[in-house]
Amino acid sequence: GALAPASAPAQQPHGRALFVRPDKANCVACHRLPDGAGPATKADIGPALDGARLKGWDAVRLRALLEDPTRMNPDTVKPPYGRHRILEAAEIERLAEFLRALP
């Protein structure tokens, strides 16, 4: 008989999954999303996120914020996801795409 493949490469989590995963970005701990875009929370440490809030944020600026928010605001409590290697560059990109697509 045929042998099953040893293992398929792990699926990379989408931006929405990164947004809610406690071992990754865990943005949902501080931010709310528009209805239907993710889990309903009462999080209010950070601003509610929606298309109107993020309007005008180009991909470069949003990636920079996720990479190291202390460059824009030295007093922020937002983790420096890239600088501290919480997220890889590709994960930051997927998270930024998810945020830019919010209604």
Contact 98, 14 (CB under 8 A): yes
Helices (H) and strands (E) in the chain, counts: 4, 0
pTM: 0.81
- Looking at residue 12, its pLDDT comes to 66
Extract the tokens encoding 30: 């501080």
**pLDDT tens, position by position, 27-76:** 999 999 998 888 888 898 999 998 888 888 898 999 999 999 999 999 99
- Does pLDDT of 86 surpass 70? yes
